[in-house]
């Protein structure tokens, strides 16, 4: 039996980047806790597949909405589609993003813009449009998925780190700005996780050298993101806003 603190029955949650990786793991956890979901990404086929699987397994109302979160018109249309479908949006998880490494001397303007548009502009614009709906109801909850690189640095990750640091700053500012509307805004900073995209890397010499730097001496399993996102989405943190929660095996402790 789910604790009433973590029961998400009756909640509608939007997850950007919700069809793959950590976003998909979050979606499963939240549906299992009773939430209805709108999963957002650019590829409708991926969304349809994941949505169907979660619906069949949990019985929850789950839809996929194709949208490019770097385009304000797409975000506005997505917001209205979700409100029309569910009547409200209780929680927004800004998860869509990209990573990578490029030395600053090799960094091209269009690559910099891709990082800024997807990792920073997207969460800002999604918060703007969905937040407007939350303000009407005087309640809401926004979770921005940042990174351990919001506070630590690594060579060749200037663009990625800049966006994730800025996202934490945006989180804190928005939390202060919207507390008067009963809207909580927090950030979740994952470290390295084993996902289908990077699984093979962890078996390489480079991957093992990264693991050596993590105090727990391993990368995270995607199932370990589930309790953290459930906590942030639930009423268990009803007096918490403007906070950054790390889930990284202690990596941010040692840099």
Please list the active-site residues.
Answer: 160
**What does each C-alpha distance from 122 to 76, 103, 111, 119, 184 come to in angstroms?**
12, 24, 15, 6, 19
Cα–Cα distance for residue pair 170/104, rounded to 1 Å: 24
Cα–Cα distance, 189 to 238 (Å, whole number)? 19
Separation in Å, CA 79 to CA 113, 134, 146, 242: 24, 11, 22, 24
Q: How far is CA 189 from CA 29, 97, 121, in A?
A: 18, 13, 18
Burial class (CB in 10 A: 0-12, 13-18, 19+), 106: exposed
d(CA 182, CA 128): 15
User: Cα–Cα distance between 96 and 208 in angstroms, integer?
Assistant: 27
Determine the angle formed by the axes of helices 122-137 and 158-178, rounding to 10 degrees.
10
């Amino acid at each position: 039996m789910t604790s009433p603190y973590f029961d998400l029955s009756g909640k509608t949650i939007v997850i950007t980047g919700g069809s793959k990786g950590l976003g998909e793991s979050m979606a499963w956890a939240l549906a299992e806790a009773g939430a209805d979901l709108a999963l957002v990404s650019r590829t409708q086929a991926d969304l349809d597949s994941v949505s169907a699987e979660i619906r069949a397994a949990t019985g929850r109302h789950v839809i996929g909405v194709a949208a490019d979160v770097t385009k304000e018109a797409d975000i506005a249309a997505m917001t209205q589609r979700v409100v029309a479908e569910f009547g409200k949006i209780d929680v927004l998880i800004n998860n869509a993003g990209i990573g990578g490494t490029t030395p600053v001397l090799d960094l091209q303007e269009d690559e910099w813009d891709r990082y800024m548009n997807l990792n920073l502009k997207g969460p800002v614009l999604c918060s703007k449009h969905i937040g407007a709906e939350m303000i009407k109801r005087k309640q809401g909850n926004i979770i921005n998925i940042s990174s351990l690189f919001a506070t630590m640095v690594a060579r060749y990750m200037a663009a990625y780190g800049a966006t994730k640091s800025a996202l934490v700053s945006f989180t804190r500012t928005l939390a202060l700005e919207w507390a008067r509307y009963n809207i909580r805004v927090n950030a979740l900073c994952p470290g390295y996780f084993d996902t289908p995209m990077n699984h093979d890397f962890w078996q390489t010499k480079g991957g093992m050298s990264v693991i050596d730097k993590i105090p727990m001496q391993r990368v995270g399993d995607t199932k370990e993101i589930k309790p953290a996102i459930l906590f942030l989405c639930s009423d268990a943190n009803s007096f918490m806003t403007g906070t950054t929660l790390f889930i990284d095996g202690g990596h941010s402790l040692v840099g």
